A and B are shown apart, each in its own frame.
Chain A
Amino acid sequence: MRTKETFAVYVFDTTTDALAMEAWCREHGVPGRLIPLPQEISAGCGLAFRMTPQDDEKYRSALEASGRKFAGVHSVQQFVLRDQGEERKRDDYS
């Protein structure tokens, strides 16, 4: 069934920054994953990093303190086909 959920989507100036974010999150057990850049944020190509709003709230200050470079964080509604439990699991690779 068509459902939309809200995610916190981090965007970056460069792909290198996106990969640095992923590496840092993996290292520190922060859940989330790389996704294609949602076109509503910016037209074009690239990678973004998304996590649940709850995780964003929990880890944002640590991320900011870590010196990770990101150009912004957007609240984006994204289409999910699975139930929330599975979606949560998919986004949580830690």
Chain B
Amino acid sequence: MIYFDNAATSFPKPPETKEALLAALESLGNPGRGAYMAALAADRTLYRVRKQLADLFHAEDPSRIAFAQNTTQALNTAICGILNPEDHVITTMAEHNSVLRPLYRLEQQGVELTIVPVDTAGRIDMAAMERAVRKNTRAIVVTHASNVTGNVTDLREVSRIAQAHGLLLIVDAAQTAGILPIDVQSQHIDILCFPGHKGLCGPQGTGGIYVRRGLSLRPLLVGGSGVHSFDREHPKEMPTALEAGTQNAHGIAGLGGGLSFLSRVGMGAVRAREEALARRFYLGVRDIPGVTLYGDFGAWEGAEGHCERVATVSLNIGDLDSAETADLLSEQHGIAVRAGAHCAPLMHKALGTGARGMARFSFSYFNTEAEIDAGILAVGKIAEAVRI
């Protein structure tokens, strides 16, 4: 199999991840539930990875990072934990359902919602974002990069708007954590939601949330905390406030392995390689007759004034349903891509692909030039067959 679905989950995982996960299965007890060797080993693992994450995102201290099972859980925690009826919130058409659905649910409970449009290349309308601000606006929730087009959001501008109007900035880093540099303090990010199993190269079931010092959230879950057991209320201190119940210590140990891999190779080097591979693919398919590409690719054409990109290229071939394209790639070429709407329905509406979706190719450090070229060849063959 040639794996081009890294925007869904990174594959393969680096050796550090596998080794850390296996070692954890053989050595860890329950974190926070005892002072014997195995329980302490689990506690120390959580602390070490928390520290690695805090360093990566430039958090004030490790306690500002709480673990979550995925970005969806982190986003639900952020969105439902901060907004109240009669608050106004701004988001964009570039968002994933993990942002939109919690917001739609809150809308039914009296939260006011504005969804900022994107243009034909999927770029967020920043002027419309600023115009959307009202007296009761509480927060902006925005993706750091689209999981459909691969366009990177101009966080500097979003952050400027948030600061100018005293709004909280909640960032969905599902496509960028471990890939693009993130500095929550200098970028004035109040809450950052991130997966462990994508760019951070950890196992599925891992992820987390950064919450700025001084900000507290209503937790989604309350329960066992290992501390203050006779209190009726769940502890309010971070990170315990957002970590009810036994944490996924084994998975988190694996995530620590993924972070070690990123440190060993260097995030910049990983990013440079996967972007070069994605650009190679883009340049190989862009001129194939019948191929339609979606997004702003100006940066890869060497043009000025265009957004950065993550290593994702979405396309359609002729009039083929994206599901058929993905199926042909899988069945005839052994190439794994994701078809359909990628859980981002508004982006597809904006780009006119609501009816057939797109075939999304998303690359990683572990892909090879030969795999990219096989992908280009496969797209060319399907495009040619469709034309006949």
Chain A interface, DSSP helix/strand/loop, else mixed: loop
What is the CA–CA distance of A90 and B304 in the complex, to the nearest angstrom? 48
Q: Which of B79-87, B126-134, B327-335 participates in binding chain A?
A: B327-335
Say whether B341 contacts A45, CB under 8 Å: yes
Task: Using known A-B contacts A1-B385, A79-B328, determine if residue A35 contacts B320 with beta carbons closer than 8 Å.
Answer: no
Closest B residue to A82 using CB positions: B332
Say whether A35 contacts B327, CB under 8 Å: yes
**Chain A interface, number of residues (Cβ within 8 angstroms):** 17
Closest A residue to B382 using CB positions: A81
Q: Which of A17-25, A36-44, A52-60 participates in binding chain B?
A: A36-44
What is the CA–CA distance of A82 and B388 in the complex, to the nearest angstrom? 14
Q: Which of B33-41, B52-60, B166-174, B350-358 participates in binding chain A?
A: B350-358
Kindly supply a per-residue 1/0 record for chain B positions 317-331, scoring 1 wherever the CB is within 8 Å of any chain A CB and 0 otherwise.
000111110111001
Contact for B345 among A2, A35, A44, A79, CB less than 8 A: A44
Say whether B385 contacts A45, CB under 8 Å: no
The answer to whether A78 has its CB under 8 Å from any CB of chain B is yes
Q: Report which residue of A36, A37, A45 has the largest number of chain B beta carbons within 10 angstroms of its beta carbon.
A: A36
What is the CA–CA distance of A78 and B356 in the complex, to the nearest angstrom? 13
Say whether A79 contacts B354, CB under 8 Å: no
Say whether B385 contacts A39, CB under 8 Å: no
Within 8 A of A (CB), among B292-340: 320-324, 326-328, 331-332, 338-340
Say whether A43 contacts B388, CB under 8 Å: no
Closest A residue to B354 using CB positions: A43
By a CB distance below 8 angstroms, the chain B residues around A38 are: 321, 323-324
The answer to whether B343 has its CB under 8 Å from any CB of chain A is yes
Say whether A79 contacts B340, CB under 8 Å: no
Closest A residue to B357 using CB positions: A39
Closest A residue to B323 using CB positions: A36
By a CB distance below 8 angstroms, the chain A residues around B354 are: 43
Within 8 A of A (CB), among B329-388: 331-332, 338-343, 345, 348, 354-357, 382, 385-388
Closest A residue to B332 using CB positions: A81
Say whether A43 contacts B357, CB under 8 Å: yes
Task: Using known A-B contacts A36-B339, A44-B340, A46-B340, determine if residue A78 contacts B324 with beta carbons closer than 8 Å.
Answer: yes
Report the minimal beta-carbon distance from A7 to chain B, rounded to whole angstroms: 11
Say whether B355 contacts A39, CB under 8 Å: yes
Say whether B321 contacts A39, CB under 8 Å: yes
B residues whose Cβ falls under 8 Å from a Cβ of A: 320-324, 326-328, 331-332, 338-343, 345, 348, 354-357, 382, 385-388
27 contacts between A and B (CB under 8 A): A2-B385, A2-B386, A2-B387, A2-B388, A36-B326, A36-B327, A38-B323, A39-B339, A39-B340, A39-B355, A39-B357, A40-B321, A40-B356, A43-B340, A43-B341, A43-B348, A43-B354, A43-B355, A43-B356, A44-B341, A45-B339, A45-B357, A46-B340, A79-B324, A81-B332, A81-B385, A82-B332
Given contacts A1-B385, A39-B339, A46-B340, 19 further A-B contacts (CB under 8 A): A2-B385, A2-B387, A36-B324, A36-B326, A36-B340, A37-B323, A37-B340, A38-B323, A39-B357, A40-B356, A43-B341, A44-B341, A44-B345, A78-B324, A81-B328, A81-B332, A81-B382, A81-B385, A82-B332
